Chain A
Amino acid sequence: MAILNVNPTRMELLGLKKKIKGAKRGHKLLKDKQDGLMQKFMEIIREAKRLRVEVEEKLGGAFKNFIKAGSLMSEEFVEGALLYSTAKTELEVKTKNVMSVRIPQFKLKSEGEVITYGYLQTSGELDMSLQSLQDIFPLLIQLAEIEKSAEALADELEKTRRRVNALEYRMIPDLEDTIKFIQMKLGEMERSAITNTMRVKAQIEAQLAEQAA
């Protein structure tokens, strides 16, 4: 592993030791976050798939009905019939915070009648298709909520995983190696200082012995 570009001093060693403590703590926290996110994601994703399959099935039918209705009536009539629809939908949006991921929550409030036209000039298919659209509508909202949540969670999960890995396989080993390197270097310097003093002492003693002789 790579050794960071630092001076092998005692000061630096102390700083690095503090840094590695922080990194380890951060790593643990992020790992916990990753586990939490994963748990949440697993809960959601299966539900999302089930919903999507269901919606796709039902919506295909509704669209077919609508196209059929459109082909039986002239377009002006269809649009005219829909013009006076009193249906109003209000979407209440809240955002929930799951592990620092903002997840939308939709609540649907709909009122009014979908079918607000005379039956004389419109075909039965139109009624049917509108009815089925209205039935599917809550499902669509639910799908939107869940899919968006899954997407946001996946995004955050990926980011967290990158951070965890960067800490685990890069930052912490690098710091450990550098600390070891500095400790070795310091030990080496200490030994060299001792041998140096020993050598000087021997020289002085030799000189003294020469003078005495």
Chain B
Amino acid sequence: MAIIGPREIILGFKAVGIEPVYITDPKEAVEQVYSLKREKVEVDGESLNKYAILFILEELAKEITPEDYKKLSADPLPAIIPLPSHMGTTGYGLSKLKTIVEKAVGMDILS
């Protein structure tokens, strides 16, 4: 597990055992997500993703273009999950859910 965000916000996650990756620049964040996704570990002869879940702060996640996001979320792992920061939610997470629903059903049935 890893979390991507500005240093002062995500420092606390270190204490609960998530690896923090300090980034404030959105462009850098995209590259970082790509490289974190590529990292593998060998377990019992199998090569598995080192990070199964990548948390990313909404402020940074917002800047990921749809094309990049599509590429990043194509495989079953890692799961890329946007989290709201201390500023409160920007609604990005919910709007992402909405697009998922629209994609699957053809219309938004959640609201």
Residues of A within 8 A of B (CB): 38, 41, 45-46, 48-49, 52-53, 55-56, 59-60, 62-64, 66-67, 70, 75, 78-79, 82, 85, 87-89, 91, 93, 95, 102-104, 106, 110, 112, 114-115, 129-130, 133-134, 137, 140-141, 143-145, 147-148, 150-155, 157-158
Contacts and interface: CB of A to CB of B under 8 A. Distances in A.
Given A60-B88, A91-B1, A147-B79, A130 B53 contact: no
Contact of B86 (A67, A78, A154, A155): A67
A52 B81 CA distance: 10
15 contacts: A45-B101, A53-B94, A62-B12, A63-B86, A66-B12, A91-B53, A104-B52, A104-B77, A106-B53, A133-B12, A143-B81, A148-B81, A151-B100, A154-B101, A157-B104
Contacts of B97: 45, 48-49, 52, 147, 150
B52 A106 contact: yes
A56 B84 contact: yes
Closest 8 CB pairs of A and B: A89-B17, A63-B86, A148-B79, A154-B104, A157-B104, A102-B76, A56-B89, A66-B12
Interface residues of B, number: 35
Contacts of A93: 48, 52, 77
Interface of B: 1, 8-9, 11-18, 48, 52-53, 55, 73, 76-77, 79, 81, 83-86, 88-89, 93-94, 97, 100-101, 103-105, 110
Contacts of A130: 12, 15-16
A106 B85 CA distance: 23
Contacts of A158: 103-104
Interface of A is mostly: helix
Contacts of A114: 15-16
A55 B100 CA distance: 19
Contacts of B15: 82, 85, 87, 114-115, 130, 133-134
A140 B55 CA distance: 9
B76 A103 contact: yes
B16 A137 contact: yes
Contacts of B86: 60, 63-64, 66-67
B101 A88 contact: no
Nearest to B103: A154
B103 A155 contact: yes
A157 B106 CA distance: 10
A140 B9 CA distance: 16
Nearest to A103: B76
Contact of B79 (A78, A85, A145): A145
